[in-house]
Amino acid sequence: MSTTADPVALGVGLGASAPPGADEAVVAKTSTTVANVIAKTVAVISNAVSTGATSSSTPTYSTTTTSSTPTPTPTPIQSLPPSLEDAEQKLSVKDLSQALQHFGIVDYLVFIAMLAVCAVIGFYFGFIEKKQKKQKLAKKDGGGAAGVEERRGSEALDYLVGGRQMKVFPVALSLVASFVSGISLLGTSTEIYVYGTQYAFILVTLAISGAISWYIFLPVFCNLQLTSTYEYFELRFNKSVRLLSSAFFTIANLIWLPIVIYVPALAFNQVTGINIHVITPIVCLVCIFYTTAGGLKAVVWTDVIQTVIMIGAVIFVIIKGTLDVGGLGVVFQRNFDSGRIEWPELTFDPKVRMSMFALMVGYVGHNTYQFGCNQMITQRYMSLPGVKQMAHTSFVFIVGLTLLFALCLYNGLLLFATYYDCDPLTTKLASAKDQLVPLLVIQSMSSFPGVPGLFVAGVFSAALSSLSTGMNSLSAVFLEDYIKPLAKKPLTEHQTGVTLRLCTVIIGVVSVALVFVVERMSSHVLQLGMSIGSVVQGPLLGLFTMGLLCPSINSKSAITGSLVAFFFMGWLSITAQIAINSGEMHSPEKPVSIEGCDYEFDRSLVSPANVTLLGAETPSLSFAEQLYHISFLFYTVMGGTVGVIAGHLAGFIFGRNKAGDVEDDLLSPCIRRFQKSRYTSVSLHENSIRSSNEKS
């Protein structure tokens, strides 16, 4: 999954600075403590949150509006009686932020219940179900059925692919949960709030990517029935290519998993105030337990539970938030007035951050790799008993993914409709972009005990499903690609089980530790995940393309091409990230307003100079600057393209394969047909030459 990322602006529409005292005697006293003010403010917000404002007037959108303020739409605090409004001074943004960190006992219980259910599922598949299976196997007599059952129930197969006996619907939901991490759940909504609806056109690309991956990549892996996708490279090329591709996958996941953990920790921090480095080890410990104990079966079934929680939380927030702002018409009108709802950007300039060209080429290529080549996805397909079930799962997966992304995209529109006249990012009510959605939840759901807890559980569910999938997939790669080839003798069932579980624990611990690194990255998480991940996803896409679609490329050329792509993408991604952190690269953001803010904040932070920079066009760029200013959506495709081109060029040095050197089963079906027709025409031509020579 996933990545413009940090939830940015938490709801300004919650707005509130008016002091909540109902007792005039208490209000009159200057000795009233800040704690009492905050406590009363929370009570007022909870009681008044449903009275949120709907005004027909549209504010003037500007990031730096500090002059005269038109009459804003009344927020819950503004709707208070005058006697209460004038009783005390406005709250500061710091006090309001603390007041909004309201996570009740019911919310904590809901969150803990989600973790407990996941742990119980892991315990069941790791101990109870495993014991029952051994007892059934012990009762069997003879070799036939028992032999098949024993083969399917071997430790590695059972732990990594569920004995290849999983069902369509749970696997499809598991795929959705694994793909839609917290990065997508929060980052997608934030993308719409900050940059507008250009990203919404990804819905068109999902079906295209799914079709390409199913007809070109997945048939080969499904027929070969591989536990690790990278076993393919040893069959197609040699062991060196297999180890190189496995190393790429390992690097990609060790980059991606900490981002997956970090995003929901931000959301939890927004609603509770608990430090992210306190909550992440606790939650990840539960994830490590059920993944280690139950293997793929536990991962899939916890994904099912987590998907239901995730979708339920998003739908609940959308319905309540839409009612609070005044309905669908208000949501779309406010976004239309601000320029967020727009037609697709029809340009071939690759430097445009989000255009139809970038989506149809870059994003389709990125998702084609994710759907068809990523070990985390293909391993789920390998857990199914046959190709027919895999096809059904792929269809349900794409449909479910499209619906969930549509919900997240609409939630982005709802974010702006709620905070259209008081941007939380500008006022620093939200310290990070990825905290916007949690702020909306606290605003709209504070009167419903347990619902904020349900939402945070949903965000963490998305993250835990991705984390558990990543750990399980990496343990498969470690076993099949690193440990087994290096072992002097075959591992016993017990040794295999211990090795897999030890790998899972180590991967989980390393991922949690790397959260400290991710925290210091300044990019939006959606963009950060895609740009940094492309360092290895690009070369991997190139390797799979060379293997499946380019039969003339041999192993040496494939290694050369992938290494060239790796170093090129490493330079590109790191240079772009440095440029973003230093302020050299700026993506134009949609306008926001602070005209309706009714709490105190540091207006010195709002400067016209900063706004001018935000939308400024970069002057003449050198060739190198032109490259790393290209939209991050192209990164994976660029890496794959560079790899394939370099591989073909290396063929002039290392030679090429001849027709028939590569087995048909190792090529994509479309290439097999071409190879057969070409081979047949060559054979007919040779036979005609031979017969004519004999006649002469």
54-91 per-position pLDDT tens digit: 333 444 454 433 333 333 433 433 333 333 344 345 66
pLDDT value of residue 357: 92
Of 403, 395, 383, 207, nearest to 307 by C-alpha is 403
pLDDT value of residue 147: 46
Stretch among 16-25, 153-162, 169-178, 456-465 having the lowest mean pLDDT: 16-25
CA dist., res. 106 & res. 593, Å (int): 35
Taking residues 397-420, what's their average pLDDT? 92
Residue pLDDT, tens place only, 127-154: 888 777 777 766 654 544 444 444 444 6
Give 412-441 as a DSSP string. Answer: HHHHHHHSTTS-HHHHTSSSSGGGHHHHHH
pLDDT value of residue 653: 93
Residue pLDDT, tens place only, 246-257: 999 898 888 888
Number of C-beta neighbours around residue 516 at 10 A: 13
pLDDT value of residue 188: 87
> Encoding tokens for residue 625?
């600057």
Tell me the range of 89-93, 249-253, 267-271, 554-558 where mean pLDDT is highest.
554-558
pLDDT value of residue 466: 80
pLDDT > 70? residue 680: no
CA dist., res. 303 & res. 621, Å (int): 46
Stretch among 84-93, 204-213, 255-264 having the lowest mean pLDDT: 84-93
pTM over 0.85: no
Q: Using CB atoms within 10 Å of the CB of residue 548, give its burial: 0 to 12 exposed, 13 to 18 middle, 19+ buried.
A: buried
How many residues does the structure list for the chain? 696
Q: Average pLDDT, whole number, for the chain?
A: 76
> Encoding tokens for residue 683?
């054979």
pLDDT > 90? residue 559: yes
User: Distances from the Cα of 53 to the Cαs of 73, 76, 79, 323, 341, in angstroms?
Assistant: 5, 7, 9, 11, 21
Give 554-615 as a DSSP string. Answer: -HHHHHHHHHHHHHHHHHHHHHHHHHHHHTS----------TT--SB--GGG--HHHHHHHT
Taking residues 265-289, what's their average pLDDT? 82
| 528/335: higher pLDDT | 335
pLDDT value of residue 102: 67
Taking residues 221-229, what's their average pLDDT? 83
Are the C-beta atoms of 75 and 444 separated by less than 8 Å?
Answer: no
Three-state secondary-structure class, residue 74: coil
Are the C-beta atoms of 306 and 177 separated by less than 8 Å?
Answer: yes
pLDDT value of residue 637: 94
Side-chain half-sphere CA neighbours of 325 within 13 A: 30
Residue pLDDT, tens place only, 297-345: 888 888 888 888 888 888 988 998 999 899 999 999 999 998 888 888 8
Residue pLDDT, tens place only, 599-648: 777 776 665 433 333 334 445 777 777 887 888 889 999 999 999 999 99
pLDDT value of residue 677: 55
Confidence of residue 416 (pLDDT cuts 50, 70, 90): very high
pLDDT value of residue 361: 93
Number of C-beta neighbours around residue 660 at 10 A: 11
Residue pLDDT, tens place only, 432-459: 777 788 888 887 777 788 878 888 887 7
Are the C-beta atoms of 276 and 269 separated by less than 8 Å?
Answer: yes
Taking residues 547-558, what's their average pLDDT? 93
pLDDT > 80? residue 412: yes
Taking residues 115-121, what's their average pLDDT? 89
Q: Percent of the chain beyond pLDDT 70?
A: 75
pLDDT value of residue 265: 81
CA dist., res. 452 & res. 317, Å (int): 9
pLDDT value of residue 530: 65
Radius of gyration of the chain (CA): 28
pLDDT value of residue 95: 67
pLDDT > 90? residue 376: no
| 417/226: higher pLDDT | 417
Of 1, 376, 383, 372, nearest to 170 by C-alpha is 383
| 23/458: higher pLDDT | 458
Stretch among 187-196, 290-299, 685-694 having the lowest mean pLDDT: 685-694
Confidence of residue 269 (pLDDT cuts 50, 70, 90): confident
pLDDT value of residue 368: 92
